[in-house]
């Protein structure tokens, strides 16, 4: 898979892409990444990429010419590129969206800055994604978040192939509690069932704890969760439980 990022700040991505899973996945050829400087597509000696908004108002707006030129250049060299604008006005990024995006052979993530884009850029894109209902300085952090979430789903990216499948948001549920050594710490003990060696009971406990945590912290997720009849019975039982964990 190829992921290209169009940005005004190429140096922003240097450290994250050279650490941990992202570094190893690139070295293994699982995905490639190219950071593209938007200023290279700005006309004129001064490579101006922004201007004051028509109609007045604070801040500066990214100009359409360099944006359109960069996206068209990308499409000429990567015919299958899916061009995604990172914007607070886009659809909400979720694990299901990451699973959708990983099916593409090439993504181009377009980072905004200043007060946003000239709206005509939307004639050149395929998708628009937001991390949530908050404002960041630019699209670099959202682009990195999208890249990381997508790369984790690529075969071979993680050391344990089951890790991605067991992460939070599997079946639209939060992940339940996890423990490791020591068995006792500051008076808190690891649940005995995890030490039982009974894999079936452990799996059942983990499913129920995932349901419990989702019900208490993110009940909105349950609307689209893949619930079984046993799950629904357990959720009915939870309604009688105290809310504290």
Residue ranges for the known binding site for S-adenosyl-L-methionine are 112, 131-136
Q: Which of 116, 84, 81, 112 lies closest to 98 in space, CA to CA?
A: 84
Catalytic residue among 40, 115, 127, 128: 115
Q: CB of 165 within 8 A of CB of 154?
A: no
Q: What is the CA radius of gyration of the chain?
A: 22
Question: At how many degrees (to 10) do helices 199-217 and 229-238 cross?
Answer: 60
Q: CB of 111 within 8 A of CB of 138?
A: yes
167 is catalytic: yes
Determine phi and psi for 62, rounding to 5 degrees: -65, 135
Q: Provide the token pair at 12.
A: 């922003």
37 is catalytic: no
Q: How many Cβ atoms are within 10 Å of 226's Cβ, its own excluded?
A: 9
From start to end of 137-185, where are the E strands? 184-185
152 is catalytic: yes
Binding-site residues from annotation:
112, 131-136
**For the chain, what's the residue count?**
245
184 is catalytic: no
Q: Provide the token pair at 149.
A: 């979430």
Catalytic residue among 4, 74, 152, 212: 152
SS3 content of the chain, % helix, strand, coil (to 5): 40, 20, 40
Q: CB of 112 within 8 A of CB of 62?
A: yes
Q: Which residues are catalytic?
A: 88, 115, 152, 167
């Amino acid at each position: 898979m190829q992921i290209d990022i169009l940005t005004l700040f190429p140096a922003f991505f240097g450290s994250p892409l050279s650490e941990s899973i992202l570094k190893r996945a690139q070295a293994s050829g699982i995905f490639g990444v190219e950071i593209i400087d938007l200023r290279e597509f700005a006309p004129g000696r001064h490579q101006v990429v922004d201007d004051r908004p028509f109609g007045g108002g604070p801040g500066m707006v990214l100009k359409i010419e360099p944006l359109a030129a960069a996206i068209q250049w990308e499409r000429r060299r990567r015919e299958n590129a899916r061009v995604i604008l990172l914007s607070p006005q886009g659809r909400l990024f979720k694990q299901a969206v990451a699973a959708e995006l990983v099916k593409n052979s090439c993504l181009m993530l377009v980072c905004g800055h200043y007060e946003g884009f000239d709206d005509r850029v939307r004639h050149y894109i395929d998708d628009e994604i937001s991390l949530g209902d908050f404002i960041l300085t630019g699209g670099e952090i959202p682009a990195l978040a999208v890249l990381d979430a997508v790369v984790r789903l690529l075969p071979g990216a993680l050391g344990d192939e089951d890790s991605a499948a067991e992460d939070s948001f599997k079946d639209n549920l939060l992940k339940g509690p996890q423990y490791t050594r020591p068995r006792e710490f500051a008076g808190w003990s690891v649940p005995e069932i995890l030490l039982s060696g009974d894999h079936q009971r452990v799996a059942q406990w983990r499913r129920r704890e995932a349901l419990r945590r989702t019900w208490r912290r993110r009940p909105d997720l349950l609307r689209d969760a893949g619930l079984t009849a046993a799950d629904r019975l357990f959720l009915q039982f939870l309604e009688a439980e105290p809310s504290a964990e």
